[in-house]
Structure 1
Amino acid sequence: MSPALPDGDAAPDDGALPGSVAAGAAERAFGLYVHVPFCTVRCGYCDFNTYTASELGGGANQDAYADTALREIRLAAGVMERAGLPARPLSTVFVGGGTPTVLPPGDLARMLDGARSAWGLAPDAEVTTEANPDSVTPASLAELAAAGFTRVSFGMQSAQPHVLATLERTHDPLRIPDVVRWAKDAGLAVSLDLIYGTPGESVDDWRASLKAVLATGVDHVSAYALVVEQGTKMAVQVRRGELALPTEEDQAIKYEIADDLLTAGGLHWYEVSNWSRTPEQACRHNLAYWRGDDWWGIGPGAHSHVGGAPDGGLRWWNVKHPRAYAGRLEAGRSPAAGRETLDAATAQLERVMLGVRLSGGLPLDRLSERARREVAALVADGLLDGRAALGADGGERRVLLTLRGRLLADAVVRALTD
């Protein structure tokens, strides 16, 4: 079961945006997110807005989905033009899900072509699709690269069969080196996603997964602690005592192991849960979220954000169910379910929450006067880098997490924003 949509104001049927969103837009990058809400099976821990093929029919099914998404792309281009937003080529495109690669490569290519026709692609645009290791072939990856995709992010999660079984992942872990090689042969950059803290995963299991990742030679890794969301099958299993969650200490040890091994393997953290071999190989699309750029989210349940200073911009979200999403677009209506105008204070709060998590840190002058008074205590507690806070290297004074601070990033953010 996916989480409920946020509360907000009603969105107009035509999707019209206020003219205020155009202020400063020329200085902001523009990206596109495309949500593909289909999976072959639903994993027990997942609370994303996803559906299996047997659950849907009509204009909401997999066969019709590319055409439905293209309707929203055309609507989005018109809405942005009427709002006075300047013409900006897409700097990033990210196709996520779900499992986008359950769609034929030709459908993913058509959606990318539609985005290219609507806005254009920057010459160095980053174009990513997520994929499961068992949802691609050498031929499908080559077709995606030929269509303009530059990057693929595989949901590996673990190298251990029993951990994958607990997560209800269907791929064979022995396939990982093959899919990485196929993607590289096609000219695609490759990221691998991992989850740590699955019930029953030992420290040795986690080390083995990290070593398997490093053996592939990928240039980007994401590692996320498992969060068991209410409403999921795994939450029921935990409640019944069928699965035991790891301790916070176990999670912390596994994060430290990840940072140690990935750093030794030549990858460096740039966001609390993400490591890349060079700054250029960081995921630019996700950085755009964390830096507050503009993006339009295509698909059921997708979120969008346009606008910035002097106000906080506008955020909106689409109806969740693919059938409702398709129905609105077929009727010529915007699929937006609600929207929220962000005031300057809310936007500032979010800038701090997200900016603190980046390896570049956050300029101290971005904090409120009260928050700046908290910095010395956080340095004393070993959560913030003292030299960065003092500007000891001759640069501006910055809030920069230590390794311990990364483990307690939420507590640091609370101290700087409460």
Structure 2
Amino acid sequence: MPASLPLGDPVPADGGFPPEVRRALPGRGETPFGLYVHIPFCSVRCGYCDFNTYTAADLGPGASRQSYPETVVGELEFARTTLDAAGAPQRALSTVFFGGGTPTLLPAEDLALILRRAQELFGFAAGAEVTTEANPDTVSAESAQMLAEAGFTRLSIGMQSAVPHVLKTLDRTHDPQNVPAAHAAARAAGLQTSLDLIYGTPGESLQDWKRSLETAVELQPDHISAYSLIVEDGTAMAAKIRRGELADIDPDDQADKYVVTDQLLSAAGYQWYEVSNFSRGPHTRSKHNLHYWQDTDWWGAGPGAHSHLAGMRWWNVKHPAPYAQRVQQGVSPGHGRELLDAQAQVLEHLMLRLRIAEGLDVAKFNALPQIRQGAAAPITAEQVHQLVQEGLAEAGAAGPSAEFPLGRVVLTLNGRLLADAVTRRLAHS
């Protein structure tokens, strides 16, 4: 089963925000606002997966795929009421992202129903990006066209690997031949496309990984995500590794594969814009994921979904049955929430900015209220210079400019491999 949710502080039944958030809300009018919709259903649970997902056998009474769209709509209506009561600025959605699970296990009509109600309640900003994740076995020419007509602009296809034995180790059941078919269907419907890949699976050779990358590049998607496999406690894969049935993850192997990823995708015209994400240019980046990395605001709807608003995070109850019960009762489905302390805010700012290609604006970091209050020391030019000397930051990007008077810290390839270490180093300077 998925990992337990953090505890946090209790969320009141009316979903009301604490005074610190209410005071901050009027100043958030220009901050982008997104919506994440969690679709928690899967036909089979993959052995490596630690996400909040459920097969039909897991659901039990009180929850079903058939009733789920109306339940999510109920939370969206609750969200609109809660935001209005708190005096939140009216912000149209700049991005909507349906994730899972497998959103496309639901009929396209159900996804369209949720999206239509979201637009009615919040409105869409000009050029809004609307994405759904998809298992390649669940996409047809007809469903892709229906999604496009409903307002979806982007399809993120879970390819993971092009190598059958790697997919078998991951417990992925999709037919690799359906990846190009799903991609072609999305293209024909006028949707942008992204392929999601995973590297570092036990038993995957460097040649296997190159084959997956090359297969993905041949399809010429707009965007490619390449994530290193993380084995979480409690998963079936973790148990197999513990019993010696699978080899453990090798960090050096994963580093080698990341280097190959950067080289091969760069040669094919893809630019990294976040450590694990590559696009053909700024117009094909995942705007929704940039919400997370740039610390903007979003509402997460669905069981286990996380939200962020004006420095506060909260997360919903995990299982679809109690989630549905709370929504039907007209009370918040929130399980817990937290306001980060000053040190945690500084660490998160560093971590997120260092992961993206624009890098860390040193002047903006040093101007943070938390820095002025002494939660952490400001970053000096000497520290940036030292990172450049060690080959961890780019010399040109790190230098001062009119836009970045104290320079930026933009990680090199080696720096990306050591991003966590660079974050800790600057945080404890």
TM-score range, shorter chain: over 0.9
For 2:347, the aligned partner's letter is L
* Mapped partners of 1:140, 1:199: distance in 2: 34
Q: For the residues of structure 1 that align with 2:131 and 2:41, how far apart are their CA atoms? A: 17
With over 3 angstroms needed to count, the CA separation of the structure-2 counterparts of 1:393 and 1:121, relative to structure 1, is closer
| Residue number in structure 1 paired with 2:170 | 167
Q: Where does structure 2 lack aligned partners over 5 or more consecutive residues?
A: 367-375
> Which amino acid counterpart does residue 24 of structure 1 have in structure 2?
G
Q: Deviation digits for residues 311-361 of structure 1, max 9, x if unmatched? A: xx2111101111110111111111001111234443232111100111011
- How far apart, CA to CA, are the structure 2 residues paired with 1:136 and 1:300? 24
Matches within 5 A, 1:91-170: 91-170=94-173
Residues 371 and 415 of structure 1 are in contact (CA less than 8 Å); yes or no, is this contact kept in structure 2?
no
Residue 386 (1) aligns with residue 362 (2):
no
Distance apart, 1:27 and its partner CA: 1.4
Question: Given the alignment of the two structures, is residue 413 of structure 1 paired with residue 391 of structure 2, yes or no?
Answer: no
The aligned runs of 1:241-320 (5 Å cut-off) are 241-307=244-310, 313-320=311-318
Q: 2-side partners of 1:67 and 1:109: how far apart?
A: 12
What's the C-alpha RMSD, in Å, of the aligned pairs?
1.5
**What are structure 1's unaligned runs of at least 5 residues?**
308-312
How far 1:388 moved relative to its partner?
A: 2.5
Contact 1:355 1:361 in 2 (8 A): yes
Q: How does 1:38-77 map to 2 (within 5 A)?
A: 38-77=41-80
Matched-pair contact (CA < 8 Å) for 1:32–1:298: yes
Deviation at 1:9, TM superposition (A): 1.0
Aligned to 2:369: none
Q: Distance in 2 between matches of 1:390 and 1:55?
A: 54
User: Aligned partners of 1:13 and 1:163: how far apart in 2?
Assistant: 45
Aligned-partner Cα distance in 2 for 1:146–1:286: 23
CA contact (8 A) 1:197 1:245 kept: no
Q: Does 1:339 align with 2:330?
A: no
Deviation at 1:379, TM superposition (A): 2.3
**2:20 paired with 1:10:** no
Which is further off, 277-286 or 390-399?
390-399
Distance 1:73 1:2 in 2: 24
Letter in 1 for 2:196: D
Give the drift of 1:45: 0.2
Matched to 1:353, the amino acid is M
SS of corresponding position for 2:69: helix
Return the letter of the residue paired with 2:162: A
> What is the match of residue 324 of structure 2?
326
Distance 2:217 2:397 in 1: 30
**Equivalent position amino acid for 1:384 in 2:** A
Scaled by the length of structure 1, what TM-score is found?
A: 0.96
Residues 21 and 306, structure 1, Cα contact 8 Å, conserved in 2 = no
Q: What residue number does 2:414 align with? A: 404
Separation (CA, whole Å) in 1 of partners of 2:88 and 2:321 = 30
Q: SS at the partner of 1:164? A: helix
Figure out how many residues of one structure are paired with residues of the other and give that number. Answer: 413
- 1:87 and 1:395 mapped to 2: Cα distance? 31
Contact 2:361 2:404 (C-alpha < 8 Å) held by counterparts:
no
Q: Check conservation: 1:364, 1:389, Cα contact below 8 A.
A: no
Alpha-carbon distance in 2 for matches of 1:393, 1:207:
41
- SS of 1:348's equivalent in the other structure is helix
Partner of 1:213: 216
